[in-house]
Amino acid sequence: MVSVYYKCRMRWCPSSVLHLLRCLRSRSCCRRGRNNRLPPWIRDTWAYMTVLARSLYFNSLTDSDVVFDSIFEPVFWTVDYVTRWFGMVFVCLVVLLTSSIVVIAYVVLLPLVLNTYSPAWIAWHVCYGHWNLIMIAFHYYKAAKTCPGYPPTEKNDRPFVSVCKKCIIPKPARTHHCGICNRCILKMDHHCPWLNNCVGHLNHRYFFSFCLFMTLGCVYCSISGRNLFLDAYNAIEASYQTPAPPYTFKDKMINKSIIYMWVLTSTVGVALGALTIWHAVLISRGETSIERHINSKETKRMAKQGRVYRNPFSYGRLNNWKIFFGVEKRSHWVTRVLLPSGHAPHGDGLTWEAHQVKKDLIPV
């Protein structure tokens, strides 16, 4: 091969060049033959890595976001997979923790209330506690079991704004793809692992009502049980300092149960209360959690152009709340907001009035 090369240097000969190309081709074939001797999984892995590397510079539209998503795709896939399979664990955890508080309330607190409180306070605690418990259980069950809403998969004449790259179906306005559910969700807000379900058009109200009434229940337990918590904490501290504890095993378990209840409800009340306030702000603005990020970017983009961005799905603060809760007359503030109600949300989730409405959509 070397001699042929030098001969070609001395004299340009087409036959020599052809011979050189044949030699190079034979060497490449030999290398391919060596690669073919590798195990299939190694060849498949190498081929996949090659395609992945080439996809990073496939066209001129590639930017840092595309490269970042491609590199961290295994991490995103792992998170989605774990969240999908551990959803039932989170649901069981919510049920167990809530049930433990209810058991403590009935076994420990209710006898103390009946023995120490006045009849008026007893009536207040019994009525409010049971109403709050019913609202929590109802809205949690409905939020977890209600379908969030899916766009139609068959051909139809409904307007759409884009085509989902993963589902390969038309996406109506406010529809987004959930990687955990592996489906497109109408008016998707987020995927909640504590519900093992997506929060979308059909169950968004149930999710927010559950967060609201769970927060109220935790605050109620935390405030009403503050004095009991302080007494139980001081009793346990005193029993550890004295050589002969004057408290029986039952008294110790009651004190520890009160401390457990107060710490858990106070912690959950603060964390869930912050989440509830955040969603209340979004509802007032006519946004979802996903749309909040989209509208923020659009606001900055239009601000650079000297223009002001307005959310096309916001109809005013009061109207946004009416549409969200489905309030169509004054009595609905009680029957549909303060009492359990399974009414359907406003609209079908496929079409939206994407313009600023000055008048009252629902005259209440």
More confident residue, 253 or 138: 138
Judged against a pLDDT cut of 50, whether residue 88 lies above it is answered with yes
Judged against a pLDDT cut of 80, whether residue 32 lies above it is answered with no
Domain that holds residue 225: 98-149+203-338
- Give the pLDDT confidence score for residue 180 in this predicted structure: 87
For the chain, the maximum distance between any two Cα atoms, rounded to a whole number of angstroms, is 116
Judged against a pLDDT cut of 70, whether residue 271 lies above it is answered with yes
Which of 181, 184, 192, 198 is catalytic? The answer is 192
The string over 112-134, giving b where at least 16 C-beta atoms fall within 10 Å of a residue's C-beta and e elsewhere, is ebeeeeeeeeeeebeeebeebbe
User: Is 182 contained in some domain?
Assistant: no
| Average pLDDT over the chain, rounded to an integer | 83
Domain count, the chain: 1
Q: Of 238-247, 268-277, 312-321, which range is least confident?
A: 238-247
Give the single-character DSSP code of 173.
T
- Give the pLDDT confidence score for residue 264 in this predicted structure: 96
Backbone angles phi, psi at 344, to 5 degrees: -75, 155
User: Is 189 contained in some domain?
Assistant: no
User: Pairing between strand 170-171 and 197-199?
Assistant: unpaired
Report pLDDT digits (tens) over 202-261: 999 999 999 999 999 999 999 998 888 988 888 776 655 555 456 677 878 888 999 999
Report pLDDT digits (tens) over 118-136: 999 999 999 999 999 999 9
218 is an active site residue: no
User: Is 167 contained in some domain?
Assistant: no
User: Is 295 contained in some domain?
Assistant: yes
- Give the pLDDT confidence score for residue 358 in this predicted structure: 45
User: Is 17 contained in some domain?
Assistant: no
User: Is 48 contained in some domain?
Assistant: no
Report pLDDT digits (tens) over 139-187: 999 999 999 999 988 877 878 888 888 888 889 999 999 988 889 999 9
- Give the pLDDT confidence score for residue 12 in this predicted structure: 44
